[in-house]
Amino acid sequence: LHDIAAQVSACTHASQYAVVTDSQVEPLHGEQVRSALAESGSTTLISFPAGEWNKSRECWSTLTDQLLHHGCDRDTVLVALGGGVTGDLVGFVAATILRGVDYLFAPTTLTAMVERVVSDETGVDTAFGRDLVGAHHPPCAVVADVHTLISLPPVHIAAGVAGALKHGAVADAEYFGRVLEWRDAVRAKDPAVLAKLVRRSVEIKSAILAGQIPRHPTPAALGFGRTVALGLQALLGYELLHGEALAIGMIVEATIGERIGVTNPGVANAMTDAAAAFRLPSELPQGLDIDRLLEAMQGRGARRDKAVRFALLSRIGSVAPASEEDGMFRVPESELRDLLAAVS
């Protein structure tokens, strides 16, 4: 982060900066980033209350007004400093204020470093579900400093690892194994190991999106675990972190894949062991209403022709090729209800 001024000026010509962060990250890094940028131009520091529930239109509106009040113009560059919520929310502010200004993303959670840095998706949650209002607006640069992870609670480190496990599971079995080998170092927040983990995940996600990985024709591979995860999050509100829902989603979808003969036997067990190694949840919450989960999964547009779509693995390190153009498998609702009931 100490080099952030050089990074910003390399990617954009700004006359002023606005650092936007959440209330937990502000006391940790807000002033450091503000003063680093102040050498290059006038810099404002603004924060919003931390928490997923603030990834909202209300918070978007407040931040937008605050920025306009501080004289934000088309030469202002926003610096989104924080986790995935900050990246999505501030990215959406940047996409919309004055019809779009540049922003730089400085992620401070492992989830954001592993999953959100290679993304042009910005947006906010609504009462109808997560991320339903947004825009495609990539950051002009990303500055991921793994030293910021020192203060991150263990549960958020584990949630970030879920994203890394997904990248290994869909595209690189060796990396999947290495993440498990790194378990103690990751839990001890060893910066060198965390840097290796973030780098490899970013490489894999970029390569998949660029179509550079053989046998992965579409970015659909990155949707592994997501259909169930997004359904769970829609149903349970903010009870589960993004990475926790993803861990359960990957295990449930591996199980579905095995039961319909797409995924090799043993993959669901391997995913379960990996989740346990990082103390991630591995089961659907007890007493979950399967019909409501199905409904929540369908609400995300994962449903088509009375079937729900999934990206499924063939084995650890490879997604199964689907005959459909979008790379997704369709599981009929009736069959899926029975499958989900069996795993719950």
Ligand X SMILES: NC(=O)c1ccc[n+]([C@@H]2O[C@H](COP(=O)([O-])OP(=O)(O)OC[C@H]3O[C@@H](n4cnc5c(N)ncnc54)[C@H](O)[C@@H]3O)[C@@H](O)[C@H]2O)c1
Minimum distance from CB of 12 to ligand X (Å)? 20
**Least CB distance to ligand X at residue 58 (A):** 15
| By CB under 6 A, residue 242 contacts ligand X | yes
> In terms of CB distance, is 119 or 318 closer to ligand X?
119
* CA 259 from centre of chain: 28
* Binder among 88, 172, 253, 258 for ligand X (CB under 6 A): 88
**Binder to ligand X among 63, 72, 79, 85 (CB under 6 A)?**
85
Select from 9, 12, 24, 344 the one that contacts ligand X (CB under 6 A): 24
CB 50 within 8 A of CB 23: yes
Paired sense of beta strands 303-304 and 42-48, if any: unpaired
Q: Which helix (H) or strand (E) holds 59?
A: helix 57-69
Closest to 314 (Cα-Cα) out of 246, 265, 251: 265
CB burial of residue 157 (10 Å; 0-12, 13-18, 19+): buried
Pick from 148, 201, 227, 282: which binds ligand X (CB under 6 A)?
148
Instruction: Find the binder of ligand X among 1, 11, 50, 135 (CB under 6 A).
Output: 50
Among 25, 46, 162, 235, binds ligand X (CB under 6 A): 25
300 interacts with ligand X by CB under 6 A:
no
Q: What is the C-alpha separation between 328 and 321, in angstroms, rounded?
A: 8
Contact 157, 149 (CB under 8 A): yes
* Cβ density class 282-308: b for 16+ within 10 Å, e for less: bebeeeeebeebbebbbbbebbeeebb
Q: According to CB under 6 A, which one of 43, 76, 111, 255 is a site residue for ligand X?
A: 111
Q: 109: how many CB neighbours lie within 10 A of its CB?
A: 27
Burial letters for 33-45: b for 16+ Cβ neighbours within 10 Å, e otherwise? bbebbeebbebbb
Q: Is 115 in the site for ligand X (CB under 6 A)?
A: yes
- What is the nearest approach in angstroms of ligand X to the Cβ of residue 265? 30
Q: Which stretch binds ligand X (CB under 6 A): 146-154, 266-274, 293-301, 319-327?
A: 146-154
* 86 touches ligand X by CB under 6 A: yes
Q: Is 226 in the site for ligand X (CB under 6 A)?
A: no
Shortest Å, Cβ 107 to ligand X: 7
Residues numbered 54 to 83 that lie near ligand X (CB under 6 A) are 55, 82-83
CB-nearer residue toward ligand X: 68 or 150: 150
d(CA 277, CA 263): 22
Total residues at interface with ligand X (CB under 6 A): 32
What 3-state class would DSSP assign to 136? strand
Tell me: does residue 263 bind ligand X (CB under 6 A): no
CB 262 within 8 A of CB 329: yes
Q: Return the residue of 5, 152, 252, 336 that touches ligand X, per CB under 6 A.
A: 152
Q: Give the range of 67-75, 136-144, 149-157, 164-172 binding ligand X by CB under 6 A.
A: 149-157
166 is a site residue for ligand X (CB under 6 A) = no
**Phi (first) and psi of residue 244, to 5 degrees:** -65, -45
Residue 83: DSSP 8-state: S
Taking CB under 6 A as the binding criterion, the range among 35-43, 95-103, 145-153, 272-280 that sits at the site for ligand X is: 145-153
Using CB under 6 A as the binding rule, whether residue 116 contacts ligand X is answered as: yes
Q: What is the DSSP string of 103-129?
A: EEEEE-SHHIIIIISS--EEEEEETTE
The site for ligand X (CB under 6 A) is made up of 22, 24-25, 28, 50-52, 55, 82-86, 88, 108-109, 111-112, 115-116, 119, 121, 130-131, 148-149, 151-152, 156, 159, 241-242
